[in-house]
């Protein structure tokens, strides 16, 4: 995602970081490069122009801070303006009714049905009782697809056999939801390859029939500038309350996706980050700005760590790191926890300056090797009371059924992770910097 845009920004920042002073000439050149990078990434022209103007005004009008270089100050201004462009803060769902209704809309092929299931699983994990309503009666097999996804996440799907009116399905789904004590009803609506009047009228009738608190436009990053135009048209007719960005994990330029908030004035609420049903997260402007500028993604890394670790273990680990007593046994425990958080390759991409450690990605097979090697160590070796000299490494390889090269890689990975952990801020401090309003509801 944003690979080319990130590369261009990093090249621009490297060039301007070598300047000793910000002048009118190098500011103009840098701002021009920012504009070209944004347009090349398919950011809406008007949005790109407004962003560049704001950046230039800030750079020219802001006094230089003595403790930072001109280049660092320029980077910070670009970072801050990108965050502001995408809404500044996280925007959460407004779900005050019982049951609350969420209507998903968008073009065919944008991933509405999949996103309906992803959102259902996301909300289910928050302790909500969720019902999916199959109201896409235009696309062949859409109802069956939603039923299959619903069965995978153990969320019920409401549908009516032999009924071709989505309004009737939505109404009866709402009646059923009230009867069954459902907290949230998610409606998957039909889309078209192109917006047409019958589609919009159908969606308006569904909206009027069930009065959804949230109308979320599903925007595929792969559609480019059309996503921005379409979002605006859906907003004019339906009054969308927010956007779910999809396919951001692909190779699309994706810049148009970050233009939607500025064009519609409606917040970006969620983003799909992969193909799995669990790959959905709250959209965070700071996180996205960090990723666009190649600064990692500490916001979501901390969120993942908090979800998969225990407070007592965090405190024990912090204490060990402060005392430099982080051992191979701790390493094994940390690797197990990180494995639950997702592929290590993805985690390292989220760490600022750690993308080169993507080679440490650990598959199931590799993780079994790692576990076997650590379990083949003596107590003193696991506690780092003795040095792992070549003879000891050969014995560990023999005892774990691995190669000496495997042991060497494990030792190198351990040292790199240990060094990284030592340089990390205190976990409690990171938690304090978590986005406010961790509940989904306003």
Which candidate, 268, 266, 225, 287, places its Cα nearest to that of 1? 287
Spatial contact of 269 and 92, defined as CB atoms under 8 Å apart: yes
Average pLDDT estimate for 54-66: 68
* Token couple for 301: 């890394």
Q: Does residue 122 have a pLDDT over 90?
A: yes
pLDDT band at 415 (very low <50, low <70, confident <90, very high): confident
What's this model's pTM, rounded to 2 decimal places? 0.69
Q: What pLDDT, in 10s, does the model give residues 248-301?
A: 665 555 676 678 888 888 998 998 877 889 888 888 888 888 877 776 555 556
DSSP, collapsed to helix, strand or coil, labels residue 259 as helix
> Residues with Cβ < 8 Å from 284, sequence gap 6 or more?
90, 299, 300, 435
Query: Encoding tokens for residue 118?
Result: 């992803």
For the cut 80, the answer to whether the pLDDT of residue 146 exceeds it is yes
Pairing of strands 184-189, 214-220: unpaired
For 398-410, how does the pLDDT look when each residue is reduced to its tens digit (9 = 90+)? Answer: 999 999 999 998 8
pLDDT band at 325 (very low <50, low <70, confident <90, very high): low
Between 311 and 217, name the one with better pLDDT.
217
Q: What angle do CA 243, 249, 251 make, to 5 degrees?
A: 110
pLDDT at 442: 39
**Helix spans in 293-389 (H):** 298-308, 311-322, 328-341, 344-350, 364-375, 379-382
> Whole-angstrom Cα distance, residue 416 to residue 439?
35
Structural domains of the chain ordered from first start = 3-85 (1.20.120.140), 100-293 (3.40.50.300), 302-429 (1.10.260.30)
């Amino acid at each position: 995602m944003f690979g080319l845009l990130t590369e261009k920004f990093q090249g621009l920042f490297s060039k301007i970081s070598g300047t000793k002073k910000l002048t009118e000439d190098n500011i103009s050149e840098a701002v021009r490069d920012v504009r070209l990078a944004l347009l090349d990434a398919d950011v809406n022209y008007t949005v790109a122009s407004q962003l560049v103007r704001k950046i230039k005004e800030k750079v020219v009008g802001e006094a230089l801070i003595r403790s930072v270089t001109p280049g660092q100050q320029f980077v910070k201004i670009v970072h801050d303006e990108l965050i502001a462009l995408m809404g500044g803060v996280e925007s959460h769902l407004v779900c005050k009714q019982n049951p609350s209704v969420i209507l998903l809309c968008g073009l065919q092929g944008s991933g509405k049905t999949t996103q309906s299931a992803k959102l259902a699983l996301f909300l289910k994990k928050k302790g909500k009782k969720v019902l999916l309503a199959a109201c896409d009666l235009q696309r062949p097999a859409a109802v069956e697809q939603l039923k299959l996804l619903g069965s995978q996440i153990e969320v019920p799907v409401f549908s009516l056999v032999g009924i071709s009116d989505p309004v009737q399905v939505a109404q009866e789904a709402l009646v059923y939801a009230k009867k069954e004590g459902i907290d949230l009803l998610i409606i998957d609506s039909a889309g078209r390859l192109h917006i047409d009047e019958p589609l919009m009228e159908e969606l308006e009738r569904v909206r009027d029939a069930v009065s959804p608190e949230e109308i979320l436009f599903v925007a595929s990053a792969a559609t480019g500038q059309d996503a921005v135009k379409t979002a605006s048209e859906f907003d004019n007719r339906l009054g969308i309350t927010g956007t779910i960005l999809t396919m951001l994990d692909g190779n699309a330029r994706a810049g148009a996706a970050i233009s939607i908030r500025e064009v519609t004035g409606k917040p970006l609420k969620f983003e799909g980050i992969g193909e799995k049903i669990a790959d959905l997260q709250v959209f965070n402007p700071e996180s996205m700005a960090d990723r666009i500028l190649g600064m990692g993604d500490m916001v979501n890394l901390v969120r993942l760590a908090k979800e998969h670790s225990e407070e007592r273990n965090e405190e024990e680990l912090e204490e060990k790191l402060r005392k430099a007593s982080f051992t191979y046994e701790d390493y094994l425990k940390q690797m197990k926890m990180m494995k639950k958080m997702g592929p290590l390759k993805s985690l390292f991409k989220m760490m600022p300056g750690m993308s080169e450690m993507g080679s440490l990605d650990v598959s199931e097979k590799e993780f079994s090797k790692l576990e076997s090697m650590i379990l083949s160590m003596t107590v003193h070796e696991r506690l780092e009371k003795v040095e792992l000299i070549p003879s000891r490494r050969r014995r560990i390889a023999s005892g774990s059924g691995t190669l000496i090269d495997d042991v060497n890689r494990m030792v190198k990975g351990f040292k790199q992770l240990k060094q990284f952990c030592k340089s990390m801020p205190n976990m409690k401090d990171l938690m304090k910097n978590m986005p406010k309003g961790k509940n989904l509801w306003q």
